[in-house]
Structure 1
Amino acid sequence: MRVIGLISGTSVDGIDAALVEISGTQADLQATLVAGHTFSYPAALREQILAVCADGPLSMAALAELDDAIALQFAEAAIALQQDHGPAALIGSHGQTVFHRPATADRLGYSLQLGRGAAIAHRTGLPTITNFRAADIAAGGQGAPLVPAVDAILLRHPTRYRCVQNLGGIGNVTYLPPQTCDEAVRGWDTGPANALLDLAVQHFSQGAQRYDQGGAWAAQGQPCEPLVQRWLQQPFFQEEPPKSTGRELFGPAYLAQCLEDAAAYQLTPADTLATLTELTAASVAQEYQRLAVSPEEILLCGGGSRNCYLRDRLQARLPSARVLTTDDAGLSADFKEAIAFAVLAYWRHHHLPGNLPSVTGAQQSVPLGEIHYVGGSGPC
């Protein structure tokens, strides 16, 4: 089956679209990337999404308009991909997260992704699966991260301990013991990755730059280690997994506090960017201390995998492991998340579970996603 996976992450950089050829079920799953492309949001829509993520007020009418506008962009991405690379039979759309509230001991979590599946199905003429997080949350899980279930099939090594480290707006890890080991796959959010860095770059460049390409600006600075250690005292970093987070915590208000803290050390913009980069590297290394066995290989993916300075700092913080990318293991580092949601949609189509309770904390494995059929029937 040819399936399209669609996702826009917490950085709101654009829609990653992957056309994937999938066969098998789970143990024998094969997933081959036919084509991948990133489609930028219109500037005004991106600003509106970012404002909502920053807790800006929104009427129900405006929410409906935003939901439809995002769905249209996702649908157009799927249509464009097929025009260039041939038809698909199914779409799996993660949508755009605008709010995420982790589960607690006495309250279910809540996660809202916009880009309604019925509209995508109507526009594309393809069955579309969306709202992947809801079933895991209803089973008592965090609803995130969901990609480790796919990592466990596609990236587990016969003999090596691996960590797959996604570096999107938020970082998350998948811990993969060797295939010959009975130890459970684990995974959780590690903290900020590109979210704070991108916000800081936009602040210091007065909007002229959206991100620090290759980490070149940060590489000119000197990280302030006392400040890194202070930031690592944030309660999220002390929590035990399962855990998840988002821009609700590591967003504009958090950056404002970081900039206020940095002012006391008289840091230059480059120093501040280097220190924020160091926070990501240090938080990843600190989270890895929770693992039973240190990884031999760390496979990076997401936009941060292209940040050479961040990669170097991760290698410095984790010297016993080889820091690579998922490209080195045969899976696109740029489109791995989109590939994963194509697989999760494929599993839902075949009534197979898609979550890992050892990762999300759910009480059981469940199929993920709601199916929206062409012609308006659904979800189911």
Structure 2
Amino acid sequence: MDTRGDISSYPMWAKYRSKREHLVIGLMSGTSLDGTDAALVHIQTDESGAMQRLDLIDFVCTPYTNELREKLIRLCSPETARVDELTTAHFGVSEWYAQSVQELLQSAGVSSSQVDVISMHGQTIWHAPVPSAFPSPLGTGSMKVSSTLQIGECAVVRERTGLPVIGNLRARDMAAGGEGAPLTPYADALMFRSVTEGRLVQNIGGIGNVTVLPSGSSETEVSAFDTGPGNMVIDALVRHATEGKQHYDPNGSIAAKGTVHPELAAYCLNDEYFRRQPPKSTGREVYGADYAKRLMEFAALHDLSLEDLLASATWFTAETIVRAVEDFVLPKTSISAMLTCGGGTSNDTLMKMIRLRLPESIRLERIADYGVPDDAREAMGFALLGHEALMGRTNTLPRVTGAAHAVISGHLTL
């Protein structure tokens, strides 16, 4: 096990590492930009420090206001982002995280003195795993650099709550040559793998990502990758069509009235990303506002209704999810069930499209059927990632991210 940078070797964390039970808060905001999620979990470990049990104590979601959501959407686009607004948002969203912690503690009836640590993912603004050119410090022209940015200042949350905070959980994996995403498969493996059947955990947030859990798999056998856009394109189209009055297609009701346009479907699928072999990840920098704008221009040129446009975009998400399984999973792994989670599970039209395309031999279920609320999964996952770091255990999966080796990822604010 790689223990470089093992913060639990410091005296104040020796006590943390020696404990067999911990209360940890996981904090995150998804690429759907719908609000902050806070989960309080109880973690039990064995004498070696390995997790034996993870239980959700309570969970709260604090929805973003329309004003904040629109501000963050602007910051996610190079054409509209401003460095002064980005800096303010970096500190400002931290106040939202701190408020979510206070609401969570009140809801759970738990005092802050009972909580060991907060593990905070932050709000992703830009994720660029494909390297870009940057001047070399060796004076030899340019080098290739991968990058990612999650805003949310841990020091603010530390001051407001009085609790230590671990954050910046993607950076070290990228420094080790990985894509820094997806990270939650580490937790998926602990929560959902089975000794009797192969399973998929398909998250449908702003971006879709799938965790592959072969039957009886160890951590080294788990794989995962981003399947492509989840709700991101659908939401952007709805926001534009309603001039910001509506942010998503409720239950897929608008798309249900439309017809998938073959040419638009073909245009969407003609994308190099879907042919790339995993590990791979993507985000708003690819499927954000500019992408939605191109689809709207296509719709205008072909005189498509909003219903047809959303039907096509919803089909696109469903098709990329199923094709990812067919192309990259089933040739190597026997799968019996797909466990879905995330905001996309409330889109009935999307779920029906996935069921129609998914092989009949694979059950379509929800993680809620396994005792984990859809909205809480990622916050629970990040709570576990922070905990593992503080226990001195590597908390990344190189097979998932493509890193050269597993690392202990996270920055601690005491």
The normalised TM-score by structure 2 is 0.86
Per-residue CA shift, 1:14-40, capped at 9, x if unaligned?
001111111116754311111111102
Q: Deviation at 1:293? A: 2.5
Partner residue of 1:378? none
Query: SS in structure 1 opposite 2:105?
Result: helix
Per-residue CA shift, 1:182-241, capped at 9, x if unaligned?
982111111101111111111222322111111111111111234212211112112111
- The amino acid across from 2:147 in the alignment is Y
Query: SS in structure 2 opposite 1:324?
Result: strand
Moved more, 253-262 or 188-197: 253-262
Pairwise mapping of residues 279-318 of structure 1 onto structure 2 (< 5 A)? Answer: 279-288=316-325, 289-291=327-329, 292-318=332-358
Query: SS in structure 2 opposite 1:107?
Result: strand
| Aligned residue pair count | 373
Per-residue CA shift, 1:251-274, capped at 9, x if unaligned?
111011112223344321111111
Moved more, 251-260 or 139-148: 251-260
Alignment partners' CA distance in 1, 2:151 and 2:124: 6
Per-residue CA shift, 1:325-367, capped at 9, x if unaligned?
1111222211100000011111111111111001000111111
Alignment partners' CA distance in 1, 2:294 and 2:334: 33
Alignment partners' CA distance in 2, 1:267 and 1:34: 47
Query: SS in structure 1 opposite 2:345?
Result: helix
Partner residue of 1:355? 396
Alignment partners' CA distance in 1, 2:81 and 2:254: 35
Query: SS in structure 1 opposite 2:246?
Result: coil
Pairwise mapping of residues 1-380 of structure 1 onto structure 2 (< 5 A)? Answer: 1-24=22-45, 28-56=51-79, 58=81, 60-85=83-108, 86-87=110-111, 88-104=115-131, 107-179=144-216, 184-288=221-325, 289-291=327-329, 292-320=332-360, 321-373=362-414
* Change in CA separation of 1:168 and 1:47 when aligned onto 2, cut-off 3 Å: same
- The amino acid across from 1:17 in the alignment is A
Partner residue of 2:10? none
Alignment partners' CA distance in 1, 2:358 and 2:299: 25
Q: Deviation at 1:295? A: 2.3
8 Å CA contact 2:37, 2:59 repeated in 1: yes
Q: Deviation at 1:157? A: 1.2
- The amino acid across from 2:384 in the alignment is V
Moved more, 178-187 or 244-253: 178-187
8 Å CA contact 2:220, 2:397 repeated in 1: no
Alignment partners' CA distance in 2, 1:350 and 1:79: 25
Radius of gyration: which is bigger?
Answer: 2
Per-residue CA shift, 1:288-338, capped at 9, x if unaligned?
121112521111111001111111111111132111111112222111000
Partner residue of 1:377? none
* Change in CA separation of 1:257 and 1:59 when aligned onto 2, cut-off 3 Å: closer
| CA RMSD between the two structures | 1.9
* Change in CA separation of 1:364 and 1:244 when aligned onto 2, cut-off 3 Å: same
- The amino acid across from 1:276 in the alignment is A
The normalised TM-score by structure 1 is 0.93
8 Å CA contact 2:214, 2:334 repeated in 1: no
Query: SS in structure 2 opposite 1:198?
Result: helix
8 Å CA contact 2:75, 2:82 repeated in 1: no
> Percent sequence identity over matched residues?
38
Q: Deviation at 1:8? A: 0.6
- Structure 2 gap ranges (5+): 1-21, 133-142
- Structure 1 gap ranges (5+): 374-380
